């Protein structure tokens, strides 16, 4: 109800986000990107290097910790994650 009232009033709701960079082995790329998408992340780039994929994008700040906890299982302990606050974006939903 609150969201509907805010929409009617023309209020925009924003959520804080983090910019991220991630290295994962090729066999983990699919599972990692699916999990990122489920958490509301937007992948801006994915580049294959010699033995890893470099993935970058933006993720809601509220989802950072959950992804950090999931990464070792998704990447078989071989994922490397870096993120920092990057501003706000319109909230989804």
Q: pLDDT tens, 12-36?
A: 888 999 999 999 999 999 999 999 9
In a domain? residue 68: yes
Integer Cα distance of 74 and 78 in angstroms:
9
In a domain? residue 2: no
Which pLDDT score is estimated for 74? 97
Residue 3 pLDDT > 80: no
Domain containing 72: what range? Answer: 13-90
Structure tokens at 68: 């950090």
In a domain? residue 8: no
Q: If you compute the radius of gyration of the chain from its CA atoms, what whole number of angstroms results?
A: 15
The answer for residues whose C-beta is within 8 angstroms of residue 48's C-beta and 6 or more apart is 26, 54
Domain total in the chain: 1
Residue 11 pLDDT > 90: no
pLDDT tens-place string over residues 50-90: 899 999 999 999 999 999 999 999 999 999 999 999 998 88
């Amino acid at each position: 109800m609150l969201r509907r009232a805010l929409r009617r009033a023309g209020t925009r709701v924003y959520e804080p986000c983090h910019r991220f960079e991630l290295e994962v082995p090729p066999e983990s790329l699919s599972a990692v990107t699916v999990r990122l998408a489920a958490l509301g992340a937007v992948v801006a780039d994915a580049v294959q290097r010699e033995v890893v994929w470099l993935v970058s994008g933006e993720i809601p700040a509220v989802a950072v910790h959950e992804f950090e906890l999931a990464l070792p299982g998704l990447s078989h302990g071989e994922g490397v994650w870096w993120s920092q606050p990057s501003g706000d974006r319109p909230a989804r939903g």
